[in-house]
Amino acid sequence: MQPLSFGVATADHQVEAYVEGWDDIRDQWERERGLDRRGRATDFWRYFSDDITKARELGCRHFRLSLSWSRLEPTPGVYCPEVVAKYREILEHIREQGMEPIVTLLHFTWPRHVEQRGGLTASGFPLLFAAFATKIAQEYARLVRLWVTFNEPTQLVYGFIKPAFEAEYAAPPGLPPGTSGDEQALQVSSLIRNLFCAHKAAREAIRKVRPSAEVGANPLVLGMPGWIRWLGECRVQRLQGPERVRTHLARIGTRRLSAGGRLDIVLGAYTRSHDREREVAFSEPYHIATRRILVRRGDEQSEPSKRKGAPIAVLRGSTSEAYLERSMPMVRGVRFADAFSALEALRKGKVDGWLSDDVLLAPYVRDGPFELSRELLGPEPYCVAVAKRHSDLLMPITRVLHARKEALGHPCEESHPTYVGTRPRSENPVTDSLRKLRKRGYLRVGLSGARSELYERTESRHWTGCEPDLARALAKELIGANATVRFKQRSIRQRARSLRPWWIRALDALENYYVLFGLIAADWWSMGMAGELPESLCPIECRGEQDYAGLDYYWGIACPWPTRVGRLLDAARGHFSRAPVWPGGLAHVLKRLASRFPDKPIYVMENGCVDRADGVARESYLRSHIDQVRRARAKGIKVTIYTCWSITTNREWGFPAGPDTDFGLFRISLDDPRLTRNPTASSGAYETIIRSIT
C-alpha cells in the first residue's frame, strides 16, 4: 500500500477576487438573493504563492484547487489567454514547491453563458463539458495527474429540488417559484444522468492527452449508522424505471404535513439574518433600515463604538446583538430583554449607547433627550416572514412588494432571479396555505413589540403607517378584496415562535427523516459507479468510469435522535457550528467504499471543520478523523490521500464571514485590505500530525 499523503484544498469562487465580466452563476445567485458576495475573497491570484508555500511548510504533498470555467471561457468558445497563463503559473509553482496539484473542473459554479443554454440539465451539457475538459487537458495535462470532474456532484441536486417545507433552493440555479414536484423531479433526473455522461466524456478527453491521469469525483457522504444507510440505499435501488424515480423525487418536492402557528406572517421591523433563516422563511426586503447607536444628546462620546470597553446596550435575540459580537470587539455588550430597560440604562448613564435600527430608535430621538451617533453601521433589511412550511405564500407576497416599491421606502434590488435557459415555467398555483387563508377570511399579522416609525396605533385603536398598509395589501392579495387583518404585537423572541411553535417543530423532525432516507441524501454517485442505480439515471457505459474512489466527509450521527438528525440537516443549510461531529462515521464510509471498489485507491478529498462545531475544536476534529483514516489503513483499506479543507479562510458560498463559517487552517480577516494569513492552533496541529506520520 502506498504511504498516506496529506494535502490542503480550496475553490476558485471562494478565493479569487470578483472581476466584472468574469462573473459566474454563483455571483449572480449571491447578488440576486442579497447574500454576502465574495468581493476580493482572499485574492488568491495575488497571494497564491503565500498559500502554496504555507501548505508546503505544513508538510503537505498535495494542493487541490479548482479552475474557474467562467474566467477561462468568458464567452462561448473563446478562451482568455491571460487566465490560461495565470493558472499555468499557479500549477507550475505548486510543482516547484514539491507538491502535486489536484485540479477540479467544476466546483459548484459554471459560466452564465452555459446556464443561458440550458445549464447542467440541458441535453447538450455533456458535450459542452467535454469540450471544456479537452481544452483544459491540452493546456495543463503535463502538469496535472490527478483530476476531479465535479466537486460534490451529490450536492448539485439542491439547485433543482427542495423539500416542500424549505423556502428556497439551497443552491443555484433554482427553479421558478411554484415549480411542481413533478417538474423538479424531471430536472433532477436529467441532472444526474447528465453528470454521469459529462464525467465519462471528460475522463476520456483527459486520458486521451495523458493516459496515466487519474480522474474521479468526490461525493459528499454523511456519516450515519449502517442500518440507516442500508435502508436508504435499498430504497434507492428499488427505483427501477424513470417513472418510479420521478414519483419518488416528486414526493420530496411536494410532501407537506399541514400545520400552522398563531400568526400567518410577521413584518414588524423583522430583519432577515442567517440564524433566523433556520426558523422561518423570508421574502425579499421591503425596507432598508440602518444600524445606528442611540446616545445621550450632547454626549462627548458621540461615537462610543470607537472607545475600548464602552458599554453598549443591545436587545437579546436581535440582529444587533449578533453584529456587536461579530464586528464590534472593542466594546462591551450589555444585553437587555426589552427596549424600556435599555432606554432606562442609557438615561441613567449605565451604558454609553444603544445599538439598534434607526427605524426603532427614531421615536426616542423625537421624544427624548437622545440623538443618533454619526456612525452608519450597515444595513438592516426588513422582510416579511412566514413559516417555512408555508413558504408557498412568498410568491404572492413578492408580487405585492414589487407593486408597492415606491410606497415602501427603500427597497433593495430584486432578490428573485430572472430564470434563463430551457427550464419549465409554472403558473401561480392555489396552494393549501392559500385555501386555508381564504376559508378563514382574515390574515393574522405580527408587528414589532417596540415603537416604530413604520406604524402607530391611534386612539381609536386603528393601526396606521407603512407596515399596516402593507399588511392590508397582502391580505387583499392572499385572501381577497373583503379580507381583514388582525394585528398582534410580538417581541423579538416571540416572532419565530408565533410562526413555528413547538408542535410544528416536532412535525419538521418527521419530515427530516423522510428526506434523510431519500435519493438526495444518498451517495448516489458511488452507487452509480458501482452499477447500483437504474440505467435511466446512470447509463451502463458510465459505470466504473473512475480511477479512484473519492469522497468528502464532514459530519455524521451515531444515533438517529431527532435533534441530531435536525442538526445534520442544519449543517446542509450552512449552520456549521451546530453540525454533529462523529469521527466514527468516516470509518463506516471508508469501509463501505472499500467494499464497493476493492481495486481502487480511496482519496479523502475534503475533511475539515469550522473553529468549533458540536463543541469540538478544529484541532481535535482533525486529530480524531485522521486517526480513523490510520485505523482504516491498518485494516487494509487503501486510503492514500487525505486533504484538509481548507488552507485559508474562504468566502463560504454567500454566508456571513466569521468563526461559524471559517474552515481555514490560516485565518484571514476578509475585510482587512492586507488579507494577512495568520496561523491558527489547527494549522499547528495539522503540521504536527503530518510530521508524525510521514
pLDDT grade for 310, boundaries at 50, 70 and 90 = confident
Which strands, in side-by-side order, build the sheet including 639-645? 214-218, 146-151, 100-106, 62-66, 5-9, 639-645, 602-607, 549-556, 220-223
Tell me which of 691 and 278 has the higher pLDDT. Answer: 691
Cell 433554482 found at: 174
The mean pLDDT of the chain is: 85
> Whole domain around residue 192: which residue ranges?
5-254+506-693
Count of domains for the chain = 1
CA gap 619, 628 in Å, rounded: 15
- 196 belongs to a structural domain: yes
pLDDT at residue 167 above 80? no
pLDDT grade for 418, boundaries at 50, 70 and 90 = very low
Overall average pLDDT of the 390-418 stretch: 63
Is residue 306 within a helix (H) or strand (E), and if so which, with residue range? none
CA gap 274, 690 in Å, rounded: 36
Residue 68 is given by DSSP the state -
| pLDDT score at 242 | 62
Task: For residue 686, give the CATH number of its domain.
Answer: 3.20.20.80
Overall average pLDDT of the 302-318 stretch: 83
Overall average pLDDT of the 371-389 stretch: 84
| pLDDT score at 425 | 40
Contacts of 558-567 with C-beta under 8 Å, sequence gap 24+, read 558/223, 558/225, 558/582, 558/584, 558/585, 559/225, 560/224, 560/225, 560/228, 560/513, 560/516, 562/506, 562/509, 562/512, 565/509, 565/512, 565/513, 565/516, 566/508, 566/509, 566/512, 567/614
pLDDT at residue 193 above 60? yes
Cell 487541490 found at: 64
Q: Which of 105, 192, 109 shows the shortest CA–CA distance to 523?
A: 192
CA gap 150, 137 in Å, rounded: 15
Sort strands 484-490 and 370-372 into parallel, antiparallel or unpaired: unpaired
Q: What angle do CA 502, 573, 282 make, to 5 degrees?
A: 65
DSSP line for 659-677: GGG---SEE--TTSTT---
- 285 belongs to a structural domain: no
Determine which of 131-140, 203-212, 265-274, 535-544 has the lowest per-residue pLDDT on average: 265-274
Tell me which of 292 and 654 has the higher pLDDT. Answer: 292
Q: Which of 75, 221, 201, 89 shows the shortest CA–CA distance to 149?
A: 201
b/e per residue, 311-326, with b = 16+ CB within 10 A? Answer: bbbbbebbbbbbbbee
Q: What angle do CA 215, 221, 227 make, to 5 degrees?
A: 130
| pLDDT score at 282 | 86
- 537 belongs to a structural domain: yes
Q: What angle do CA 315, 316, 318 make, to 5 degrees?
A: 70
Tell me which of 569 and 149 has the higher pLDDT. Answer: 149
| pLDDT score at 240 | 61
| Three-class DSSP category at 611 | coil
- 188 belongs to a structural domain: yes
pLDDT at residue 22 above 80? yes
**488-514 residue pLDDT tens:** 888 777 777 777 665 555 555 555 555
| pLDDT score at 413 | 38
| pLDDT score at 430 | 67
Give the CA distances from residue 232 to residues 193, 417, 514, 517, 569, in Å, rounded to whole numbers and listed in that order.
20, 34, 10, 5, 16
- 499 belongs to a structural domain: no
Are 206 and 135 spatial neighbours (Cβ–Cβ below 8 Å)?
no
Tell me which of 476 and 275 has the higher pLDDT. Answer: 476
**Cell digits of residue 441:** 377570511
Tell me which of 94 and 469 has the higher pLDDT. Answer: 94
| pLDDT score at 169 | 82
Kindly give, in sequence order, each residue whose CB lies less than 8 Å from that of residue 344, ignoring residues fewer than 6 positions away: none
CA gap 160, 151 in Å, rounded: 17
- 604 belongs to a structural domain: yes
pLDDT at residue 412 above 50? no
| pLDDT score at 36 | 79
Overall average pLDDT of the 359-373 stretch: 84
Is residue 51 within a helix (H) or strand (E), and if so which, with residue range? helix 44-58
DSSP line for 153-191: GGGGGGGT---TT-SS-SSSS---TT--HHHHHHHHHHH
Separation of CA 445 from chain center: 29
- 229 belongs to a structural domain: yes
| pLDDT score at 70 | 96
Residue 111 is given by DSSP the state B
Separation of CA 541 from chain center: 33
Is residue 64 within a helix (H) or strand (E), and if so which, with residue range? strand 62-66
pLDDT at residue 137 above 50? yes
- 474 belongs to a structural domain: no
Are 111 and 24 spatial neighbours (Cβ–Cβ below 8 Å)?
yes
**456-481 residue pLDDT tens:** 776 666 788 888 888 999 999 889 88
Helical H runs in 605-674? 618-634
